Amino acid sequence: MYASVADLRGEGVTATAAGDARLAQLLDEATRTIDRLTGWFFEPRQATLRLDGRGTPSIEPPVPPIRLDRLAIEGSELSLASESLVVVGAPVGPGFDGPRLTLRYGRAFPRGHGNIIAEGRWGFTEEDGSPEGRTPLAIRRACMLLVLRNLPPLADDASLEARNRWRILEERTRDQSYRLDGFHQQPRLLTGDPEIDALLEPYMKPSPFGAA
């Protein structure tokens, strides 16, 4: 999940508004919604993927690789220590335009359906100095906003403050800041909430290579 019950409690969501089990359920639903709308997931997850070769040096996995543990091409294991393989993945840095696995020195992934097996840790994470990176701050915020939107309204001041606290223009951390000035723009309609949509829009998965 992209946020925690403790995160929501820290923002003023009381036990009267929702118990821990209810918040955990809403966080799980919000995480699944973000995955579906953006086309990515934003935390490290272990997975084995079957990919299609196109007879080209590069293939584009459906999610950025964080750590590649195994790569097999038509049943033959490829040494991951080899300099013949270039991996573009996560943690994502400036200029990222999509995940790629590229063979060098004139090699190509042979054409086939599911003929390439890639096993490892996957996820769209951002740099924070750790090997696996972190869930992007905007995704974390969007997850909590989705939960707050689905909580029943309470009339007490603490509840209202917790909801309105999210409607700020800028957030800063020790080494990063971003400004939510996109409300004058026109993000695509995703959730129906302009504030959440503006957070998700920069993280939408691009069209696949060769798509019309």
Domain extents for the chain?
A: 5-41+135-180+192-203, 45-122
pLDDT of residue 211: 43
**Residue (of 8, 48, 13, 49) closest to 28 by Cα position:** 8
CA geometry: angle 57, 59, 62, nearest 5 deg: 170
pLDDT of residue 155: 45
The pLDDT tens digits along the chain (212 residues) read: 999 999 999 888 989 889 999 999 999 999 999 999 999 999 999 999 999 999 999 999 999 999 999 999 998 998 887 788 999 999 998 888 899 999 988 899 999 999 999 999 999 999 999 999 999 999 999 999 999 988 876 545 454 555 554 444 455 555 565 555 444 455 567 888 899 999 999 999 986 554 43
- Inter-residue contact 48 to 122 (CB < 8 Å): no
pLDDT of residue 19: 92
Kindly state the DSSP code that residue 123 receives in the 8-state scheme.
-
pLDDT of residue 88: 93
Q: How many residues does the chain have?
A: 212
pLDDT of residue 187: 53
Cis before residue 91, ω within 30 degrees of 0?
yes
Structure tokens, 77: 């294991």
Question: Looking at the DSSP assignment, which residues form a beta bridge with residue 45?
Answer: 122
CA distances from 40 to 77, 160, 181, 203 (A): 27, 32, 24, 8
Residue pointed to by tokens 């974390």: 140
pLDDT of residue 39: 93
Beta pairing, strands 58-59 & 65-73 = unpaired
pLDDT of residue 178: 54
pLDDT of residue 190: 83
**Number of alpha carbons in the 13 Å side-chain half-sphere of residue 77:** 7
* Distance (Å, whole) CA 111 – CA 135: 34
pLDDT of residue 11: 84
0.85 surpassed by pTM: no
**Residue (of 191, 182, 179) closest to 30 by Cα position:** 191
